[in-house]
Amino acid sequence: MSEVESFFKSAFSVDNVIFGFDGGDLKVLLIQRGAAPFRGKWALPGDLVYPNEDLDTAAERVLEQLTGLRGVYLEQVRTFGAVDRHPLGRVITIAYFSLIKVSDFALTPASFAQSAHWHSISDVGELAFDHNEILDICLQRLQRKVRNAPVGFELLPQKFTLTELQQLYESVLNLPKNKGLDKRNFRKKILSMNVLVECEEMQEGVAHRPAKLYQFDRERYDQFVAEGFSFDI
Amino acid sequence: MSEVESFFKSAFSVDNVIFGFDGGDLKVLLIQRGAAPFRGKWALPGDLVYPNEDLDTAAERVLEQLTGLRGVYLEQVRTFGAVDRHPLGRVITIAYFSLIKVSDFALTPASFAQSAHWHSISDVGELAFDHNEILDICLQRLQRKVRNAPVGFELLPQKFTLTELQQLYESVLNLPKNKGLDKRNFRKKILSMNVLVECEEMQEGVAHRPAKLYQFDRERYDQFVAEGFSFDI
DNA sequence: GGGGTTTGGTGTAAAAAAAACAATAAGACT
DNA sequence: AGTCTTATTGTTTTTTTTACACCAAACCCC
């Protein structure tokens, strides 16, 4: 095999770190591999990129095949390309993370997985390939991103309470519940940005005083940015 | 050709956005391509990744072949993989940026370039491939990075004056000279971090009061971080 | 060697932002 | 009615950021 040909004995894949939040811990969606290598092991959902497919498209496809969701938040994070990272050949992988609303999630039987389950971030065991490292880096990226861009809302239902929003931040940033962030200061800050609108409705079905529901308003956010302010928690 | 084989009719390259600073504008090192496609056009230095080569290693190699430098600051930024980005086939590229001290730079005749020259960031014309987009993204990354990590020093000689440091920030962040940052506040801030040490020497050969020279001290920086502070300009 | 020119170096006060902190209100349940 | 649980709201203090102007040191030129 000539050297030039050998350049083409390689492939690239995408792997997707799918985050979710259910009110408790931050979660990541993992699959149990149905094929070698690492058959039976937990891994990030991913696939080889088709020859005629853009990278972002491939990441969207992987996400949709697994969850049935389209149009959710997706961001490229980094490419992992250690020579020996894949036991069967030279395969580099472009890592993405996505943020989905757990309530929207409908498990679709995906060809590449025996099963898929949410795992608490703090309770992820040893994963296939270099997926622990990928998960780490993506989590760090999310932690930075959530603090200076309004992406946290992607993890919550459309209507949410301020307490839920605060708990989301505490989970993502791994802060102690109701200790990490001061409730009054948090509310003051987020409301002062004017990017939330109060819904008519209240929280229902709780055994205590119900909270007001809010929605994120992208138009207001765009205006906030246009005025030269920057989102910062 | 089977579908599986077609996955391997693809390659990946690295492209390197090499930044430099000479006291005036921020500069980027571009090559004039010596081979098709885009022969004669200005482009980012880059090369295919060897089959047995890690991505970071490939980026270091490209940098060394062009500049003779090793061990300089290098950071992966993003992977660009639009299907049609390379006219000769499916080639995705992993973009890096590196920061070098222009004074260390010794041009080495590199096989892949007819010539290499520094271009002012504000004066880069149309580049080969999608390199304008890559340059844009890398510049944005540098602008963010320089504000919250001590990477600016990588662009300056080992010993520098505070004015030079300020001018560096103003160039990278594209602020008006001596207007964007307040001299007194800038000095106060950077000195309060305690990451610079004053040299014995003074600036020489200038037709005005000579300035004190400073050096960045990584140990002090590590301690600064260990104490829970974060670098922030 | 004196005056002009150029950049280097320094502190304080006002404003804004962040942090600390606790009591009342609303509804569910018994 | 009383208890329980979470929701909601403002003020004070501290810290950080901004705004702002004058003298000092070296060189140059006459």
Reduce the secondary structure of A69-128 to three states and give it as a string: CCCCEEEEEEEECCCCCCCCCEEEEEEEEEECCHHHCCCCCCCCEEEEEEEEHHHCCCCC
Cβ atoms B19, B26 nearer than 8 A: yes
SS3 at position B39: coil
For chain B, the average pLDDT equals: 92
Contacts of A11 in chain B (CB under 8 A): 7-8, 10
pLDDT value at position B2?
45
Q: Which residues of B touch A7 (CB under 8 A)?
A: 11, 48, 50-51
B100 neighbors B75 (Cβ within 8 angstroms): no
Q: Do domains A3-148 and A156-226 have the same CATH topology?
A: no
Tokens describing residue A63: 């996400």
A90-99 and A10-21: which strand pairing? parallel
Give the orientation angle of helix A131-148 with respect to helix A162-172, to 10 degrees.
Answer: 140
- In sequence order, the 6+-apart residues with CB closer than 8 A to the CB of B165 are B152, B153, B156, B190, B214
- pLDDT value at B114 more than 70: no
B207, closest nucleotide (Cα–C1'): D27
Q: How many CB atoms lie within 10 A of CB A96?
A: 26
Beta bridge partners of A161: none
Comparing A105-114, B137-146, B192-201, the range with the smallest average pLDDT is: A105-114
Interface of A with B in 147-186 (CB under 8 A): none
Reading chain A (233 residues) residue by residue, the pLDDT tens digits are 444 445 557 899 999 999 999 988 999 999 999 888 999 999 999 999 999 999 999 999 999 999 999 999 999 999 999 999 999 899 999 999 999 999 888 666 555 556 899 999 999 999 999 999 999 999 999 999 999 999 999 999 999 999 999 999 999 999 988 788 999 999 999 999 999 999 999 999 899 999 999 999 999 999 999 999 999 99
A205 touches strand D (CB under 7 A): no
Calpha distance B183→B25 (Å, rounded): 19
Structural domain boundaries in chain A:
3-148, 156-226
* Dist. CA A22–CA A17, nearest whole Å: 16
Is residue B184 very low, low, confident or very high in pLDDT (cuts 50, 70, 90)?
very high
Three-state DSSP at A201 gives strand
| CATH code reported for the domain at A156-226 | 1.10.10.10
Question: Whose structure tokens read 């084989």?
Answer: B5
Residue A183 CB lies within 7 Å of the nucleic strand C = yes
Residue A149 CB-half CA count within 13 A: 9
Instruction: Name the β-bridge partners of B75.
Output: B97
Of the pLDDT bands very low, low, confident and very high (cuts 50, 70, 90), residue B207 is confident
pLDDT attached to residue A27: 97
**B98: which strand partners?**
B18, B74
For residue A45, CA distances in Å to A125, B23, B211 come to 15, 48, 57
Return the structure tokens found at B29.
């090192």
Q: How far is B47 from chain A (nearest CA, A)?
A: 11
Spatial distance between the Cα atoms of B98 and B225, rounded to a whole number of angstroms: 23
Give me the residue from B6, B9, B55 closest to A92, CB to CB: B55
Pick the more confident residue, B187 or A6.
B187
Output the six-digit token pair for A206: 């709780």
How sure is the predictor about B4, in pLDDT bands with cuts at 50, 70 and 90? very low
Over residues B20-38, mean pLDDT = 92
Position B224, amino acid: F
What is residue A95's predicted lDDT score, i.e. its pLDDT?
98
Question: What is A3-148's CATH number, 3.50.50.60, 3.90.79.10, 3.30.70.100, 3.30.70.141?
Answer: 3.90.79.10
Helix (H) or strand (E) holding A65: helix A55-67
Cβ-Cβ contacts under 8 Å, B4 against chain A: none
In chain B, count of helices (H) and strands (E)? 6, 9
Q: What is the pLDDT of residues B65-93, one digit of tens each?
A: 999 899 999 999 999 999 999 998 999 99
Residue A27 CA to residue A29 CA, distance in Å, equals: 7
Q: Are A18 and A63 in contact (CB under 8 A)?
A: yes
Residue A129 · residue A154 · CB < 8 Å: no
- Contact call for residues B174 and B204 (beta carbons, < 8 A): no
Residue A185: alpha-carbon gap to chain centroid = 26
Q: Is A81 on the interface with B (CB under 8 A)?
A: yes
Instruction: Please state, in angstroms and rounded to a whole number, the distance separating the CA atoms of residues A231 and B2.
Output: 49
